[in-house]
Amino acid sequence: MTFLYLFTRAPYGHSIAREALDMALASAAFDQHVSLVFAQDAIYQLLNTQDNGNTEKKPHIGVINALPLYEIENIYYLSDDCTSRNISATNLAPHAKALSATELADLMRSADRIQSF
């Protein structure tokens, strides 16, 4: 089964982003094919340097950088969101790949299950 986890919210101020990463790891542990897409404000989760402000939460980049160790290698972000937020791809997790809106639509069509956070 193919799972697509679509992240759209900023990484801090709630626990959804971390819980979604945990869900993706659990899916991969059961030998499911997992892809993650970071869109809209969720792209900030991919920044190599994250400012979590006063939320006293750990940045997610450590977990994101470890995902390939758990056989989650399909990690994407929307290139338009990167551009609209003036984020350089060089500042993002090195294993994350850019997707166009058309490529995202294709990925969504090919997924058996889509979870949006």
Mean pLDDT of 9-17: 84
**What range defines the domain where residue 84 resides?**
2-116
**pLDDT of 43 higher than 50:** yes
Structurally, how many domains does the chain consist of?
1
Q: How confident is the model at residue 45 (pLDDT cuts 50, 70, 90)?
A: very high
Of residues 60 and 107, which shows the higher confidence score?
Answer: 107
**pLDDT of 51 higher than 70:** no
Q: What is the pLDDT of residues 66-113, one digit of tens each?
A: 999 999 999 999 999 999 999 999 999 999 999 999 999 999 999 999
Residue-level pLDDT at 95: 93
Strands of the chain (E only): list them: 2-7, 33-38, 74-78, 97-99, 113-116
How distant, in Å, are the alpha carbons of 6, 11, 64, 116, 117 from that of 51? 22, 10, 16, 24, 20
In this structure, what CATH number is given to the domain that contains residue 32? 3.40.1260.10
